[in-house]
Structure 1
Amino acid sequence: MLLTKYTHACIRLEKEGRVLVIDPGTFSETDRALAGADAILITHEHADHIDQAAVLGALAASPALAIHAPAGVARTLREAAPQSAGQVHDASAGETFAVAGFNVLGVGGQHAVIHPSIPVVANVGFVVDGAVYHPGDSLIVPAGVQVDTLLVPVHAPWSKVAEVVDFVVSVRARRAFQIHDALLNQAGLSFTESHIGRIGAEHGTEFRHLAAGESLEI
């Protein structure tokens, strides 16, 4: 499987000529990420995880494109593109489904708390092919699954470094790469990633930074 990291939280997975894109948001290079996509997974409704205009454009351009997202996001997309409503599916925690040749498990269900005054929205993380875990905006450890590759939200308004490190240690994936990194400058990113890399390694997880647009076989 080929994994490509785009800016912030967007990941593209390619396998046997099929393409699955997770969280093509407004901070990301959506034109490149969505080119030739067979399916899109969206973890939650925030704009840095879904560029609605880009997703609707991809939906209109490809009648075979399938989208899986939490019910509220899926409903919004169906209302915006009623002619493509059959291509948009609800995703929920604990659900398993197959799309574009990939097997997917939904994890979590709730966005991490940003502040008590801010309503909590639905968030569904995705484990793809039992191997790659994209948690969206949460630090939920998937139960009963030993993932090989963890995508780590390294910085967010709802997290602190200790929580992120504990998440990496708890998941115990063989390797990890950063996501949700667009709000940090290079100095802040290097500081945070150094803690994740050092402590993660003590517990068997190799952490490596991926540049935007970088691809690797996993």
Structure 2
Amino acid sequence: MTITKYGHCCLLIELAGKRILTDPGAFSSGFTELTGIDLILITHEHGDHLHTQSLQAVLALNPRAAVVTNTGVGKILGELGISYTTLTDRETTTAAGISIKPYDGKHEEIYENFGQVENTGFLLEDGEFFYPGDSYIVPDEQVNILAAPVAGPWLKVNEAIRYVLAVNPKQVIPVHEAVLSEVGKRVTYPHFERELTKQNITFTVLEPEKTVIM
């Protein structure tokens, strides 16, 4: 598997011979000219995960790409005439040649009910990769690579570390970090590295637009 990060939560994952794009949002860049995309996964409707103009630009170059999401996002896409597919919660299916198991739920609480939209995490290829979106949902399967949120208005570092330990993946890549300054990253990342290393979990920071073999 190779992963290229385009900022925040937008990842290009090359897995099982397919090219998968996650959360083309407003805090990400450099992905709108990608080609050969087979599958686009959108976890929820917040602008840092779904920027509709950017999604339209990607689809213009990849008209055969399948878009998989939930009904909340689907309502927005339907109004724009964008085709999409929703999946049954925790039921494994195949889309664009990739095995997907969705985990439906709500966005973690920011303040009271603010922002608690529908959120869907995606488990790919029987646990090879898991991305929970903005949630602490723990999949049933053993996970190889977890894309773990590390910052945000709904998140505390201790909660995020405990979440990663609950999933217990072999490797972690941090996402949802656009809200951190460079100083903030230098403060935040060592906490994850220290605690995850104790459990033999690898913490790998991806540089923008650099492809890494995982």
Q: Does 1:162 align with 2:161?
A: no
1:98 aligned partner, one-letter code: T
Alpha-carbon RMSD across the aligned residues, in angstroms, is 1.8
1:9 aligned partner, one-letter code: C
State the alpha-carbon separation in 2 of the partners of residues 160 and 46 from structure 1. 19
Misfit runs of 4+, over 4 Å: none
1:144-192: per-residue Cα shift (whole Å, max 9, x none)? x000011110101001010011011111111111100001011111221
Gaps of 5+ in 1: none
8 A Cα contact 1:6 1:33, kept in partner? no
TM-score by length of 2: 0.92
* SS of match in other structure, 2:147: strand
State the alpha-carbon separation in 2 of the partners of residues 11 and 111 from structure 1. 20
**Residue equivalent to 1:47:** 47
Aligned residues: 213
8 A Cα contact 1:21 1:41, kept in partner? yes
Gaps of 5+ in 2: none
State the alpha-carbon separation in 2 of the partners of residues 172 and 153 from structure 1. 14
**Residue equivalent to 1:182:** 178
8 A Cα contact 2:93 2:99, kept in partner? yes
TM-score by length of 1: 0.90
1:17-67: per-residue Cα shift (whole Å, max 9, x none)? 521101111111253574321110000000100111121233344442210
Compute the displacement of 1:126 (Å). 0.7
8 A Cα contact 1:172 1:204, kept in partner? no
1:96-116: per-residue Cα shift (whole Å, max 9, x none)? 221222111112421101101
Q: Indicate which of 111, 117, 121 corresponds to 1:121.
A: 117
Between 185-194 and 99-108, the greater mean CA deviation after superposition: 99-108
**Residue equivalent to 1:138:** 135
Identical residues among aligned pairs (%): 34
8 A Cα contact 1:41 1:69, kept in partner? yes
Q: Does 1:19 align with 2:19?
A: yes
